[in-house]
Amino acid sequence: MHTTLHARVTRLLIAAVLVFAPTAHAEQARQAATPIVGYDARFHPVLSKAGMVVSAESIASRVGAHILAVGGNAVDAAVATGFALAVTYPQAGNLGGGGFMLVHLAKEKRTVAIDYREVAPRAAQRDMFLDERGTVAEGRSQRTHLASGVPGTVAGLLLAHEKYGRLDRATVMRPAIDLAQHGFPVSFTLANTLASPWGKRLLTNPAAAHYLFRPDGTPWEPGEILRQRDLAWTLTQISDRGVAGFYEGPVADRIVAEMKRGHGLITYDDLAAYRAVEREPVRGTFHGYEIVSMPPPSSGGVHLVQMLNVLEGFPLRELQLNSAAYIHVLAETMKHAYADRSRHLGDPDFHQVPVAALTSPEYARTIRAAIDPQRATPSQQILPATEFPHESTETTHYSVVDADGNMVSNTYTLNFSFGSGIAVPGGGFFLNNEMDDFAVAPGVKNAFGLTGDEANAVAAGKRPLSSMTPTIVLRDGQPYLATGAPGGPRIITVVLQILLNTLVFDLNIADASAQSRVHHQWLPDELYLEPGISPDTTALLTAMGYTIGAAGPLFGNAQSLMLRDGVMYGASDTRRPGGGVTTVEDVQNASELRKKLLPR
């Protein structure tokens, strides 16, 4: 766990930092002296035997670990972490968005999938984002009130807690309420986001500017204390009244009032009708491990299993990690999966998704036979062009495991950073722009360069397609690994490569997360390589017929953990700063040290 000390942090927060620092340093020293899988790795995970939380924001990780330490299970901790991220990581953590959660119940040996994806309002129409000429109206599906689907996060988190949690709702939500009411030190990540051109666009929305900027309109500096009392009020409504505290009553009043002000579509009836849904996970096998992932309307699980099926027939270890031959096999497999995604995937309540066919070993053999071992296949030869909607990279994922072996893998989002950029006055939270994840005009790209077909066209009550891929791996029926990432269309390939790095190449979870990544999404017909892929390898791939795309941002920000032989190993991806792994032992040790260090 990384902790930043800043001069402006209050005396109490400085003491808390001092309490955590010795534990982290001792843990790092112990890890360096004890390789966990029999080799000298460059990167080492955080270890625990009592439970841990891995998230993109260290304060939220501490909240989840605290809940574990006071007797909560992995679901309690996951729900607490989700609400805490809505406070400390508002660019992606949220109340006004949606997502997907996998829960593995160790005692029951059962894994459930909770779909709390946003839905299109009842007044939504197929052509609502087209202008009078029938072309896509620039920005309408991204930066207006029409861009928001009915939020699902609150319903999803509370469904998980009600069915599978152990502690009462007030205990689980209290840390998030306190963080919003009393404030927290602004992270470098949040400060930099607010200071960026993308962050400064929030100043055009008075409620957003009020929540996240100083009164003079300047962004907060790292370490300054940000208080969000309107958000604390909303969280208190949810804590007191449950789902009704968000989808009915005064919070709903404020959402609907903002919709009316901006000519949006979400109504009281839309909010009252929203339901999170339990679905059967997508399952597959790979080298003796059971892969459990998210079903439609996420495309993640289907195509993760599909790609693993294809790759299981190649000698990946002999090809060697990130060699030209290895990347070639990955890229060709990815092309086929993303081509299938554009044609077949959508909301299963509206469209019959051929999950069994796409994830069958027979179909994998067909794809494998179509891969030329020497040359890149042009994407147009795989499937005629029809590109995907654009998906934002500003999602967030977290993973949790408790002492009983219960695991949670959760990914949720507002779509863009801060969603539509529209905040609810008096509510303290942002509204999503997930309507852009529909094929707003089938065959036309969305903001992330993805194209969709009729299966993902806009329709009232429909859930847009997603790439979110929360995943749990079982070994001999026991929980072994949980992972997921942000990254828009790259989420699926990030999760794929973490699984390959651990299950094929036997890397520890930190080393597996640190390896350079590659991505191909069929269209555009470009192969993307992270820094760290050698120039010689790049030259060989070019000679094979690949067009190397501009690298752009690093791929994903995975939050992963493993459980083997009674020891938990956690790793927060270093591609973005501010993430953290917090263990139950950290919390317990901090409590003891706090008694000694703080004045009485």
Confidence of residue 8 (pLDDT cuts 50, 70, 90): very low
Task: Indicate whether 127 belongs to any domain.
Answer: no
Confidence of residue 5 (pLDDT cuts 50, 70, 90): very low
Mean pLDDT in residue range 484-503: 97
Q: Strands 282-286, 289-293: parallel, antiparallel or unpaired by DSSP?
A: antiparallel
CA distance linking residue 518 with residue 121, whole number of Å: 37
pLDDT band at 547 (very low <50, low <70, confident <90, very high): very high
Q: Is 319 exposed, middle or buried (0-12, 13-18, 19+ CB in 10 A)?
A: middle
Model pTM score: 0.91
Query: Is residue 573 one of the residues assigned to a domain?
Result: no
Confirm whether 584 is domain-assigned. no
Which spans in 504-583 are helix H? Answer: 509-514, 535-543
In a domain, 507, yes or no: yes
- Domain membership of residue 434 (yes or no) is no
- Number of domains composing the chain: 1
Per-state percent for the chain, helix, strand, coil, to nearest 5: 40, 15, 40
Nearest-angstrom CA–CA distance, 265 and 420: 14
- Calculate helix-pair angle for 491-503, 300-311, nearest 10 degrees: 40
% of the chain surpassing 70 pLDDT: 90
For tokens 């993109």, the residue is 56
- What's the confidence (pLDDT) of residue 554? 79
* Structural domain harbouring 551: 282-390+476-559
CB-based burial, 323-350: b 16+ in 10 Å, e otherwise: bbbbbbbbbbbbbbbbbbbbebbbbbee
* Peptide bond preceding 389 in cis form (omega within 30 of 0): no
Question: Distance between CA atoms of 562 and 48, rounded to whole angstroms?
Answer: 10
Q: Please provide the average confidence, as pLDDT, over all residues in the chain.
A: 91
Q: Is 377 an annotated catalytic residue?
A: no
**pLDDT digits 0-9 by tens, 145-172:** 999 999 999 999 999 999 999 999 999 9
Q: Do the domain assignments include residue 380?
A: yes
Residue 316 lies in a domain: yes
CA dist., res. 142 & res. 148, Å (int): 8
CA pair distance 373, 67, nearest whole angstrom:
51
Long-range pairs of 440-444 with CB within 8 A, sequence gap ≥ 24: 440/129, 440/130, 440/136, 440/141, 440/389, 441/127, 441/129, 441/130, 441/135, 441/136, 442/386, 443/386, 443/387, 444/136, 444/387
**pLDDT above 50: residue 556:** yes
Could you tell me where the beta strands, DSSP code E, fall in 523-565? 528-529, 559-564
User: So what's the pLDDT on residue 208?
Assistant: 98
Q: Catalytic one among 81, 144, 359, 395? A: 395
pLDDT confidence band for 440 (50 / 70 / 90) = confident
pLDDT, tens digit, 9 for 90 and up, residues 364-388: 999 999 999 999 999 999 974 444 4
For residue 384, is the peptide bond before it cis, meaning its omega torsion is within 30 degrees of 0? no
pLDDT tens digits, one per residue of 268-310: 999 999 999 999 999 999 999 999 999 999 999 999 999 999 9
pLDDT number for residue 460:
97
The whole-angstrom separation of Cα 520 and Cα 506 is 24
The CATH number given to whatever domain includes residue 353 is 1.10.246.130
pLDDT at 4 over 80: no
- Strand-pair partners of 397: 411
Per-residue model confidence as pLDDT tens digits over 39-92 = 577 899 999 999 999 999 999 999 999 999 999 999 999 999 999 999 999 999
pLDDT band at 441 (very low <50, low <70, confident <90, very high): confident
Q: Provide mean pLDDT across the span 545-567.
A: 91
Mean pLDDT of all residues in 117-141: 95
pLDDT tens per residue across span 77-123: 999 999 999 999 999 999 999 999 999 999 999 999 999 999 999 99
Mean pLDDT of 420-429: 98
- Is residue 361, in this structure, part of any structural domain at all? yes
Residue 311 has pLDDT above 80, yes or no: yes
Residues 6+ apart with CB under 8 A from 90: 190, 211, 212, 418, 429, 430
Do residues 455 and 343 lie in contact, with contact meaning Cβ atoms separated by under 8 Å? yes
Taking residues 552-564, what's their average pLDDT?
Answer: 91
